Structures are given as structure tokens and as C-alpha cells.
Amino acid sequence: MFARFTTVQLKIDKIDDAIRICEKSIVPAAQSQKGFLKWKMFLDRETGKAMFYTLWETREDAIANEKSLYYQEQIVKLMPFFRSNPMREGFDVEIDV
């Protein structure tokens, strides 16, 4: 498995709008992607720091997803709510309990 994390600072007064976009648009789009397993959002409402987590069957699925521009299309949906540029990282999953 492969995990991708995107970390960003959200505008605090736009947090609920960002959550709504995630629930109504981004999550359903993710569920249609080859190799997609899971999507989560972690949030500190006091600071606006958010971390988006996706889990993929393989590293190749995650890379193919990025090459298809899916990832970039989803980030564009949230850009009006960002206070900082998103930082993306990917990791092989070694333990999953």
C-alpha cells in the first residue's frame, strides 16, 4: 500500500466551506480512482492546519493518479480556502493494523 499526505493551512473562516467541497466533490471523485482505498481529513480548527490522507493499493496507482491530473484538479477546488501552498508527500505503508 501507499499513502499520500497533503498538508495545508486553511483560512479559518472558510473551514466549513472546504469540508463541504471535500464531502460533496473530492471524496466521490477519489472513490472512482483506480487503486483508491481510503480518504481522510485531519484538522486543527484553531490554527486552520489541515492534512488530507489518501491510501492506495500500490505506489503505481498513486503515481498514475497524479499523472492523470486528478490530484491537481482536486487541489484547484480547494485553492480559494488555502492560506498556504499545499505540501504533498508520499510513503510506503509498512504496518497497517
All domains of the chain, ordered by start, with CATH?
A: 2-92 (3.30.70.100)
Alpha helices in the chain (DSSP H): 15-21, 27-31, 59-67, 70-78
Mean pLDDT of 1-17: 97
Q: Which amino acid is at 66?
A: E
Over the stretch 35-86, which tens digit does the pLDDT of each residue have? Answer: 999 999 999 999 999 999 999 999 999 999 988 889 899 999 999 999 999 9
Question: What string of H, E and C letters represents the secondary structure of 40-53?
Answer: EEEECCCCCEEEEE
In this predicted structure, what is the pLDDT of residue 66?
A: 86
Grouping H, G, I as helix, E, B as strand and the rest as coil, residue 7 is strand
pTM: 0.88
Task: Give the helix/strand (H/E) hosting 86.
Answer: none
Binning pLDDT at 50, 70 and 90, where does residue 12 land?
A: very high
